[in-house]
Structure 1
Amino acid sequence: MVEVFAVASGKGGTGKTTSTVALGMALADRYDVTVVDADTGMANLLFHAGLSDAETTLHDVLAADAPVEAATYDRFGMTVVPCGTSLDGFRDADPGRLRDVVAALAEDTDIILLDSPPALDSRTAVLPIVLADRIVVVLQPTIPAISDGLKVQEYATTYDTDVAGLLFNKVRESESIEQVSEKTERYFDGPTLASVPESERAREARRAGRPLLAHAPECEAATAYRAAAEALTVQNGTAADAADRFQSAVIPESL
């Protein structure tokens, strides 16, 4: 079985990469998980996974300079495919090759999580949503973040990608997440998976170059991410199903 999720948000700063890695680690207790940094312009997954010294990255694969196997690393119970951070690497990368990369990875894993770019103003940014079976929308409980999250859902609907659920992140104690999620679910197609509290431990983990669930596995935020992974339904599929979807996906030439 294999299912591809795009972890997406309509704006930066929501903690999307932290969420992607945390969900990956939590899901890895039950599944074979591969996490891909599909944000080829502003990549930072390599810092979260302790891979800042990785010699080969997704940039190299998308530039046809290396096979995808060379850019895969075993970290924290997951397979991680980081992306480089250089402007030259971004310039040389062909985003159209992401389809082949995901198809190759789908042959040997249960779940693929695509850490998606935060904006939807380019072909590169939309690609992970186009290639995914479903999306997880990461939101902060604010009107601008929710509004931008709705734009993500609109794009997903356009490309026949369903919404697996909503993940509220960086929630402060003073914010009534129950009221927010109740109102929000009227407009989104998926359920609320969890509410992750704002956490100093998450900031510590980023500085340490370690995923939150490895750095502080018992903190409230880590517990919330495990609850989100438990609430996330995983649908049965096959690598052949995924290959068919990738081949039929209509990839925009431009936006």
Structure 2
Amino acid sequence: MVEVFAVASGKGGTGKTTSTVALGMALADRYDVTVVDADTGMANLLFHAGLSDAETTLHDVLADDAAVSEATYERFGMTVVPCGTSLDGFRDADPARLREVVATLAADTDVILLDSPPALDSRTAVLPIVMADRIVVVLQPTIPAISDGLKVQEYATSYGTGVAGILFNKVREDERIDDVAEKTERYFDGPTLAAIPESERAREARRAGRPLLAHASDCDAAAAYRRAASQLEIEHRDVQTVAQRARSAIIPQKA
């Protein structure tokens, strides 16, 4: 049994990759977790997972030059499938092959987290959302970010993808997040999983090439991510059903 989540946002800079890895590490205490860098154009997962020297990446798989198993790495209690950062690798990769990658991975894990591109501006950028069973929407507590997040939700639900919840990130001390969350939940289908405080420790972790929960496991932001993961109820689905959904996911004609 397995469930596929797309961790998504309507804009860049929300801390989506940090959130994907943190949720993955927290969930790995209870489940077999696989994290996939589905942002093939602006890959960041390999830096967060300390895999900048990885010889084989998802780009190679999407170019049909390597098997999925060759691009998987065991890091911090999770299976990690990073993308490369070269322009040549991006150009040669066929994002449509991501469907078969997810279908293959579904056979050997409990939870798949897809670190999705931060936009809805291309056909391939929205593919992870279309393939996922549910999305986690990463927001900052601002009107533009919430508006963009609602577009992500609208797009996901139009393709039958559910909403697992929303995650507020980079929350400053002076922001009344309880009021914002209460108002926001009127418009989102899922609950607020947590509010992650702005954290210098998260920036330190990125510079060190380590996930936040490994770099500073006792900081407030790490604790908030663990609370979010505990709120994320896993709805395990039949492996064959999940694999078939991934394989048959429609690449939209336009976003």
TM bucket (normalised to shorter chain) is over 0.9
> Which residue of 2 is the match for residue 145 of structure 1?
145
Paired residues for 1:1-150 under 5 Å: 1-150=1-150
Measure, in 1, the Cα distance between the counterparts of 2:236 and 2:242. 11
Could you tell me how far 1:250 is from its partner in structure 2?
Answer: 2.2
In the TM superposition, residue 26 of structure 1 has moved relative to its aligned partner by: 0.1
Which residue is equivalent to 2:225?
225
Following the alignment from structure 1 to structure 2, what is the Cα–Cα distance between the partners of residues 105 and 14? 27
Residues 1:126 and 1:69: Cα distance change in structure 2 (over 3 Å): same
Deviations 1:139-163 (A, max 9, x none): 0000010011011001101111010
Question: Could you tell me which residue of structure 1 aligns to residue 213 of structure 2?
Answer: 213
Structure 2 SS opposite 1:178? helix
Q: TM-score, normalising length from structure 2?
A: 0.98
**1:206-249 alpha-carbon deviations (Å, 9 max, x no partner):** 00000000000000000000000000010021211112222443
Q: What secondary structure, in the 3-state scheme, does the structure 2 residue paired with 1:249 have? A: coil
Q: Distance in 2 between matches of 1:92 and 1:130?
A: 22
Letter in 2 for 1:182: E
Structure-2 separation of matches of 1:43 and 1:167: 21
SS of residue matched to 1:123 = coil
CA distance in 1, matches of 2:248, 2:61: 22
The share of aligned pairs that are identical, in percent, is: 82
SS of residue matched to 2:126: helix
Aligned length: 255
Q: How far apart in 1 are the matches of 2:27 and 2:243? A: 23
**What is the rounded CA distance, in whole Å, between the counterparts of 1:98 and 1:247 in structure 2?**
9
Q: Deviations over 1:160-192 (max 9, x none)?
A: 101000000000000011000000001100000
Offset of residue 123 of structure 1: 1.4
Q: 1:120-139: CA deviations, max 9, x gaps?
A: 11112100000000000000
Partner Cα distance (2:116, 2:40) in 1: 9
User: Matches of 2:218 and 2:238 in 1, distance apart?
Assistant: 34
Is the CA contact (8 Å cut-off) linking 2:103 and 2:244 kept in structure 1? Answer: no
User: Conserved in 1, the CA contact under 8 Å of 2:163 and 2:189?
Assistant: yes
Instruction: Give the alignment's Cα RMSD to 1 decimal.
Output: 0.8
Deviation at 1:254, TM superposition (A): 4.1
